[in-house]
Amino acid sequence: MTSAPLISLPTHPEGLAWPTETWPEAFEFDDFDRARALHAIDFAFGEQALDKMGETHAFLAVHKGRIVLEHYAEGRDQTTTFPSWSKAKSITQALIGILVRESMLDIAAPADVPEWQGRDDPRRDITLDQLLRMSSGLKFTEDYVDSGVSDVIEMLFGAGSDDVAAHAANFPLAHAPDTVWNYSSGTSNIVTRCAQRALGKSGEAFERWMFDNLFTPIGMRSPQPKFDAAGTFIGSSFCYATARDFARFGLLYMRDGIWDGTRILPEGWVDYARKPTKTPPEEPMGYGAHWWLGIAGPDSFSANGYEGQFTVCVPSLDLIMVRHGKSEAGEKGDAVRAWLADVADCFRG
């Protein structure tokens, strides 16, 4: 993606309550093509969509700070917690931002990774910025299907599962840092451990810090972050939450890291998340810093997860969409992304 000027993030509507306790709702709100949107939702949750885009389990849209669309598959509702898969990477980016705000981390400095501290280790100068932009140069194969060539399966469910960060940190360089983009869940777990080392907290202590500094201030009460045996938050993949809580996380980013007058993320952190990193021509979406770009228009940025988990922010529309389901990669995944773009178009004049 080319580096065009970023569209300004919208401010919260004056007089509208923040959803720290409950979400403002406007299910009769007519400032968009509701009939077209409802038709799209009916399709996604119907049997006719199974062959094209797989199962949809939850969808909600927040427009100008209010929930205007919300639907769940049978057996699921507002209290159901859904898997994040790689949406957790964007939560990890927020945790790093909080530590940057507190001057406890510098993303331009070499990352604190014990495995890389040998005098002649070419990885010792890799920065947190390069890790967040998936441009560290580390060798890592992100494949969720073929266990024979999948470093991520081995890390999450195989030999690396007891200490995901140490497993990932032991991979060698495949390229010089900051020269090649390579999406990697291993990278995110290295980043998470850097956050924990900066704080001197792991396991339950780090989980309490996550709630005290991120989740609770913005009203997220349902998150269930998962930790490995070493006490590292598996920030690449595992933080369950309700659809409404994932929407709260999206709203924090839509509002430039400010929540009800309090700055949670440092100034400029959301712009950093959505500033394009150079990606290869074959990558259909853009990438920023632990956030994807362009899924629902050129200004959109999103937290994306395996099998079709999405939190999409479209600043020009003040629109947040959350979708959860079970959709295979490939054509079904492409169809889900196209469907989200189509729903977003319902909010364009």
Average pLDDT of the segment spanning 260-264: 98
DSSP class of residue 175? S
pLDDT score of 3 more than 60: no
Q: Give 24-41 pLDDT, tens digit per residue.
A: 999 888 899 999 999 999
Nearest to 210 by CA among 51, 96, 82: 96
The first and second tokens of residue 306, run together, are 């395996």
For 285, counting Cβ atoms within 10 Å of its Cβ (0-12 exposed, 13-18 middle, 19+ buried), the class is middle
Q: Give 96-148 pLDDT, tens digit per residue.
A: 999 999 999 999 999 999 999 999 999 999 999 999 999 999 999 887 765 56
CA 177/CA 108 separation, integer angstroms: 13
CA 247/CA 319 separation, integer angstroms: 10
Higher-scoring residue by pLDDT: 289, 142: 289
Q: What percentage of the chain has pLDDT greater than the value 70?
A: 97
Instruction: For strands 224-225 and 66-72, give the pairing.
Output: unpaired
Torsion of CA 233, 215, 223, 344, to 10 degrees: -110
pLDDT at 83: 98
Q: What percentage of the chain has pLDDT greater than the value 90?
A: 93
Average pLDDT of the segment spanning 160-175: 97
Measured in degrees and rounded to the nearest 5, phi and psi for residue 187 equal -55, -45
Return mean pLDDT, the chain: 96
Please enumerate in sequence order all residues whose Cβ is within 8 A of that of 46, keeping only pairs 6 or more positions apart, or say none. none
pLDDT score of 222 more than 70: yes
Length of the chain: 349
pLDDT at 148: 60
pLDDT at 321: 98
Average pLDDT of the segment spanning 74-89: 98
Q: What secondary structure, in 3-state letters, does 30-76 show?
A: CCCCHHHHHHHHHHHHCHHHHHHHCEEEEEEEEECCEEEEEEECCCC
pLDDT at 1: 40
CA 254/CA 89 separation, integer angstroms: 17
Residue with tokens 């280790």: 121
Contact 91, 213 (CB under 8 A): no
Residue at 19: amino acid letter: P
Q: CA angle at residue 283 from 280 to 285, to 5 degrees?
A: 120
CA 89/CA 99 separation, integer angstroms: 16
Average pLDDT of the segment spanning 145-169: 88
Contact 84, 238 (CB under 8 A): yes
Helix (H) or strand (E) holding 97: helix 87-101
Question: Strand, helix or coil at 188?
Answer: helix
Q: Given pLDDT bands bounded at 50, 70 and 90, which one contains residue 2?
A: very low
pLDDT score of 221 more than 90: yes
Measured in degrees and rounded to the nearest 5, phi and psi for residue 312 equal -115, 130
Contact 106, 129 (CB under 8 A): no
Higher-scoring residue by pLDDT: 37, 5: 37
CA 258/CA 35 separation, integer angstroms: 33
The first and second tokens of residue 328, run together, are 């295979």
Instruction: For residue 34, list its beta bridge partners.
Output: none
